[in-house]
């Protein structure tokens, strides 16, 4: 029986995986940067981020219209790109911004399987997600450099659009 702390981490990581999936889906429609990055993924490409072994995850698929679709926590078949945290605690450290994404790569906390160029593109999307959705002081902990030129007003505008899009998507699903 996992400890209370590990169960808590599991729920937190599962929730954050959903937020990442929902967020990138919404930003592929609302944010020009992620929209542009998403067009670089091959049509139909399955992109998975998960925790080994069989932990929480999220799966996106690039649609022909350029947007990203959120497919839930498990891929329907072997994904073309899979980013796998080696342990729940590593995923927790990254998703709770105790460890930056580049530091996690440098420390071998995760493995990238599949299209490496797409993996780098996904990392840029994650940086953008953090920069747009999180307060500056927290977002800056997750990346090498907070995006230059992302001013407060632009960020607030994007916040409204992305969170609004996420709410609409959730309501539409329910």
Partner 1 sequence: MTRQYYEFFCPVKLIVGNRALDNIPFELGALGASRPMIVTDRGVAGAGLVDRLRDVLSIGGLQVAAIFDEVPPDSSVVAVRAIARRYREAACDSLIALGGGSPIDTAKAANILASEDTDDLISFSGVGNLPRPLKPLVVIPTTAGTGSEVTYVSVIRDEARGVKVAFASPFLMPDAAVLDPRMTLSLPPQITAATAMDALTHAIEAYTCLAKNPMSDAYAFAAVRAIATHLLPVLDRPGDEDGRLELAQAAAMAGIAFSNSMVGLVHALGHATGALCHIHHGTCMSVLLPAVLDYNMDARRAAIGELLLPLGGAEAWTATPEALRAEETIRRVRRLRDEIHARCGLPRTLTETGKVQREQLPVIADMALDDGSIIFNPVEVDRDEALAVLESAWD
Report in angstroms the alpha-carbon separations of 173 from 71, 109, 153, 157. 12, 34, 30, 24
Q: With contact defined as beta carbons under 8 Å apart, do 139 and 130 qualify?
A: yes
Cβ proximity to partner 1, 109 vs 165, nearer residue = 109
- CA gap 38, 82 in Å, rounded: 16
Q: At its nearest, how many Å lie between partner 1 and the CB of residue 88?
A: 16
Cβ proximity to partner 1, 58 vs 143, nearer residue = 143
Cβ proximity to partner 1, 118 vs 166, nearer residue = 118
User: Does the N-terminal peptide bond of residue 38 adopt cis geometry, omega within 30 degrees of 0?
Assistant: no
Q: At its nearest, how many Å lie between partner 1 and the CB of residue 173?
A: 32
Cβ proximity to partner 1, 40 vs 66, nearer residue = 40
Binding site for partner 1 (CB under 8 A): 40, 99, 102-103, 105-109, 111-114, 116-117, 119-121, 123-124, 143-145
Q: At its nearest, how many Å lie between partner 1 and the CB of residue 174?
A: 37
Please give the helix or strand (H or E) that residue 19 lies within, else none: helix 4-30
- Residue whose entry in the numeric block shows the structure tokens 């209370």: 4
Tokens of 105: 């790569």
Burial class (CB in 10 A: 0-12, 13-18, 19+), 90: buried
20: left (phi over 0), alpha (psi -120 to 50) or beta: alpha
Q: At its nearest, how many Å lie between partner 1 and the CB of residue 172?
A: 33
Cβ proximity to partner 1, 60 vs 122, nearer residue = 122
Q: At its nearest, how many Å lie between partner 1 and the CB of residue 80?
A: 10
């Amino acid at each position: 029986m996992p400890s209370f702390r590990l169960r808590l981490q599991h729920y937190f990581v599962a929730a954050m995986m959903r937020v990442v999936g929902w967020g990138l889906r919404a930003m592929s429609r609302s944010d020009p940067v992620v929209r542009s990055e998403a067009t670089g993924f091959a049509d139909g490409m399955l992109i998975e981020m998960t925790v080994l072994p069989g932990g929480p995850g999220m799966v996106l698929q690039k649609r022909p219209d350029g947007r990203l679709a959120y497919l839930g926590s498990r891929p329907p078949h072997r994904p073309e790109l899979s980013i796998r945290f080696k342990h729940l605690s590593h995923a927790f450290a990254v998703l709770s911004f105790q460890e930056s994404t580049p530091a996690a790569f440098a420390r071998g906390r995760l493995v990238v399987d599949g299209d490496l160029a797409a993996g780098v593109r996904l990392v840029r999307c994650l940086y953008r997600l953090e920069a747009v959705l999180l307060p500056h002081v927290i977002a800056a902990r997750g990346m090498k450099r907070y995006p230059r030129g992302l001013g407060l007003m632009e960020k607030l505008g994007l916040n409204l659009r992305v969170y609004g899009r996420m709410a609409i998507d959730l309501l539409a699903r329910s």
